[in-house]
Amino acid sequence: MSDAPAHRYLPNTIEPKWQARWERENVFAAHNDSDKPKYYALCMFPYPSGTGLHVGHPESYTAIDIVSRYKRMQGFNVLNPFGFDAFGLPAERAAQREGRHPEGITRERMEYFRTQVKSLGFSFDWNREVVTCDVDYYHWTQWLFTLFFERGLAYLAEVPVWWCEAQGTVLANEEVVDNRYVETGDPVERRYMRQWMLRITDYAESLLEGLDDPSLDWPEGLKDMQRAWIGKSTGAQLSFVIDGHDDLTFDVFTTRPDTLGAATYCVLAPEHELVAAITTDDQREVVTTYVDAAAAKSERDRQVGEKDKTGVFTGAYAINPLNGRKVPVWVADYVLAGYGTGAIMAVPGHDERDHDFATVHGLPIESAYTLPEGFDIGAGVFLATETQTTVNSGQFDGLGQEEAKQAITDYLVAEGIGEAQTNYRLRDWLFSRQRYWGEPFPILHGPNGEIVTVPDDALPVELPHVDEYRPTDAGEPPLARATEWVNVTIDGKTWKRETNTMPQWAGSCWYWLRYMDPHNDKAAWSNEATEYWQAVDLYIGGVEHAVLHLLYARFWNHVFHDLGLVSVREPFTRLFNQGMILANAYRERNGKYHHPNDVVNLQDEPFEMVSPWTQQPVVTTWYATDEHGKRVPVEEKSGKMGKSLNNAVDPMDIVASHGADALRIYEMFMGPLDQVKVWSTSGCDGVLRFLQRVWRLFINDETGEVRPFASQTKPAARKALHVAVKEAGAGIEELRFNTPIAKMMEFVNVCGPDTPSRDDAEIFVRILSPWAPHVAEELWERFGHTESLTFEPWPAVDESALIDDEITIVIQIKGKKKTVIQVPVDADDDTILQAARDAADLSPDNVIKEILVPGRLVNFVTK
């Protein structure tokens, strides 16, 4: 290292210098009172986990930062904020383990995240930081909840929930797989508990309509995921009467009323209230046993992968209202209590699930449609009905599918036994948790069962201190321990505070609005602020938030819109999902993982080992060192970065070894933003070399002086520059951040040792700056500027520089290629021929004929 030039590219010196200056001068502050057009760029704020940021996180932050810096140069007033989704169960679990308070743990983690994020030089406006566990933030989360309550959109209900005994809390459906909590593996059980619910189902139609808004620039796949989650289906609801018991009826929901004639049995969900009443004595024992067993299974287990459907006969029959036939009534858990009416008419001739069930249990299978020659309905369902017409449907025989749906629905309505019906898969949102580390509900329970919200002037309801985060012995949430806090005396009567807390989702349901007006202590936000900033112009985050966060956030915004609190219904105009960055994990035969920093690749020492993943023999050249200092072979395999694979790469390590600019460029250069990519620290080497070349193009690394600018950039370099300018602008607009880098590299290559002109050097530095802001600022300053280049105008493309001013002409002798020449595009024939003769090096006497194909070639016919 000692002979390295003293003034070489030193990111570890340059980067802290610029970060400090940006902060000191408050360069990236967004202004609410600006005359400039606004641009709001937002990345999904992180949960401050114990592992800190890994190199996957800065992918979306870098993308958002590039767009923000570019928009500032285009003259926009840019809002690019950052914050923390800071409430949540993991910190509470860590608190239990470490005997500390979750707040202390959370604040400590956030501090490390901040240090990490700041070392990357993002242009966040840190003055607007939002932290969901700060009292002056959750004050307004509570206030917003009171609006939901007053509108009837928040209610208490006795609902079946997943109760996790080990964690002492209710879990959301998506946190439970195979009857275990996904995070810890703790078993969970079904319980009925009184819970706060949000009436998101009231907004099902509104949320669907919003997705159809053509100005919503979201990936189609993501819109479809939301549509599927909402799950709208249209059909009919109709009632069946139990044979011999006119007073016992049950309703079914069907999307296919046209197949009613072929309904050969009915099924009730095990939880259906009629099960006990209709079960005959001789069937009672099997039915009871079956119902009890079903209660222990999760909905997911019941929906997927059960080919041989289980179920039992109740002994009762119902009457098919179309043809008067008696059909058996079964109980089976493929029918879900929580969907439709919890009961179905089974049409095994046309429905796969019913067909499977009927086959297993020997139930009759009939067709509601004429069948093609030779079609065996017992062997499989009949789906194609365009050309077929109804049968087995009495007065409705002979109709096409759509006609039959309509006619049979009309008949059911006329008979008073049914109606057209739309159903949604979406359920109301379970909004309470028996946890400590969350927003307290602003709710008081009165001595006579009254439920009221805490008045606005008594907000916030601060989270009281408790020392123990488990539920109480009486099974109440941990907040019940804060007895002084819980009991509120009003006019001599004791009211009790709600002791549940809100789920982690609550804070992220409106944080983008708070960023618009983060220090407002009179309101959640002011009208002026939202009028100016909404909607978010670009929102980037992981696809794992496709349904829950993005659906919840849209729901809250729709409610705010209906309340007149915001004037835009859809909060995120353009949405993009970055692809996950995976990292290689290294695993010993015995299953132990070694961190990527602790392994070596010995290409010359291949070793055959048994794969810890597949148990098959594999050849590896990777080695780690075990606790006795012995070398052990490990297998390499990529996977999600994190604790479990011990493969999280800390961006701070890369900043130390390569610099933040190299890290930023590498993250973008790995591939298209939406693709899954595998991290490779050595991949940063190439990017670092590029930045070193940029440096040496402009700086004499022996003296530290700026190398003299050329009076004119050589034409090929000028063209390469404007190709890069064009690609940089288009790339940013289209969120393609890798291809512009390739063009910038090409420019540097074409320049070779030749410095461009000052103007062109400054153009280059400006387009480089969104990707590599530190080195760009440093060069800008060394070029003699005193102001940051943050607000320098984005360079315009010089289209004329893109036009080829030379063309290539192939020189042939007797039709065989001899060489090529470059001539000016506008060269006349004589000039071209003369140049061709010179290049062909022929004696004029030998030439019989000269053939010129304009723009392409010259062929000499010789003796």
Binding site for ligand ANZ (CB under 6 A): 233, 253-256, 259, 335-336, 339-340, 342, 344-345, 347, 350-351, 423
Residue 599 CB coordination number (10 Å): 18
**Which uninterrupted H or E stretch holds 575?**
strand 575-578
Q: Which residues contact 17 (CB under 8 A, 6 or more apart)?
A: 778
Task: Write down the least CB distance from residue 303 to ligand ANZ, Å.
Answer: 8
State both tokens at 216. Answer: 């919503």
Give whichever of 377 and 821 is closer to ligand ANZ, judged by the CB atom: 377
Residue 425 or 714: which CB sits closer to ligand ANZ?
A: 425
| 191: its two tokens | 């319980």
Token output for 594? 């070694």
Q: Is the dihedral of CA 178, 184, 186, 189 positive or negative?
A: negative
Tell the smallest beta-carbon distance from residue 465 to ligand ANZ (Å).
46
In terms of DSSP bridges, do strands 622-625 and 599-601 run parallel, antiparallel, or are they unpaired? antiparallel
131/344 with CB nearer ligand ANZ: 344
The CB-of-555 to ligand ANZ minimum distance in angstroms stands at 21
With tokens 């002056």, the residue in question is 136
Q: Cα–chain-centroid distance for residue 154?
A: 27
Q: Which is nearer to ligand ANZ, 290 or 437 (CB)?
A: 290
**Beta carbon of residue 391, minimum distance to ligand ANZ (angstroms, whole number):** 15
Distance in Å, CB of 295 to ligand ANZ, minimum: 16
Cβ 199 to ligand ANZ shortest distance, Å: 20
Q: Which is nearer to ligand ANZ, 228 or 656 (CB)?
A: 228
Nearer to ligand ANZ, 353 or 718 (CB): 353
Q: Indicate the angle between helix axes 758-768 and 739-751, nearest 10 degrees.
A: 150
Smaller CB separation from ligand ANZ, 255 or 621:
255
Pick the closer one to ligand ANZ by CB: 118 or 256: 256
Shortest distance (Å) from residue 344 CB to ligand ANZ: 5
Distance CA 207, CA 547 (A): 12
Q: Is the dihedral of CA 782, 786, 792, 796 positive or negative?
A: negative
Pick 339 or 572: Cβ nearer ligand ANZ: 339
User: Cβ(691)–Cβ(659) under 8 Å?
Assistant: yes
Residue by residue, DSSP assigns 54-109 as -TTTHHHHHHHHHHHHHHHHTT-EEE---EE---SHHHHHHHHHHTS-HHHHHHHH
Smallest distance from ligand ANZ to CB 347, Å: 4
CB of 349 to ligand ANZ, least distance (A): 8
Nearer to ligand ANZ, 392 or 584 (CB): 392
Residues 314, 316: Cα–Cα separation, whole Å:
5
Is 309 or 435 the residue whose CB approaches ligand ANZ more closely? Answer: 309
Nearer to ligand ANZ, 336 or 407 (CB): 336
Report the run of H or E that residue 622 belongs to, with start and end.
strand 622-625
CA distances from 757 to 12, 697, 754, 806 (A): 28, 12, 10, 21
Q: Answer whether 663's CB lies under 8 Å from 684's CB.
A: yes
Spatial distance between the Cα atoms of 760 and 712, rounded to a whole number of angstroms = 9
- Helix, strand, coil % over all residues of the chain, rounded to 5: 35, 25, 40
344 vs 813, which CB is nearer to ligand ANZ? 344
Q: Judged by CB, which is closer to ligand ANZ: 159, or 602?
A: 159
Task: State in angstroms the smallest separation of the CB of 252 from ligand ANZ.
Answer: 7
Backbone φ and ψ for 198, nearest 5 degrees, come out as: -110, 135
Write down the least CB distance from residue 409 to ligand ANZ, Å: 13
Smallest distance, ligand ANZ to C-beta of residue 377, A: 12
Q: Alpha helices, DSSP H only, in 651-772?
A: 651-657, 660-669, 683-698, 715-733, 739-751, 758-768
Give, in order, the Cα–Cα distances in Å from 569 to each of 26, 206, 406, 527, 539: 32, 10, 35, 15, 16
Rg for the chain, CA atoms, rounded: 35
Q: How far is the CB of 383 from ligand ANZ (least distance, A)?
A: 8
CB of 378 to ligand ANZ, least distance (A): 16
Q: Which residue from 183, 185, 196, 192 is spatially nearest to 162, judged by alpha carbons?
A: 192
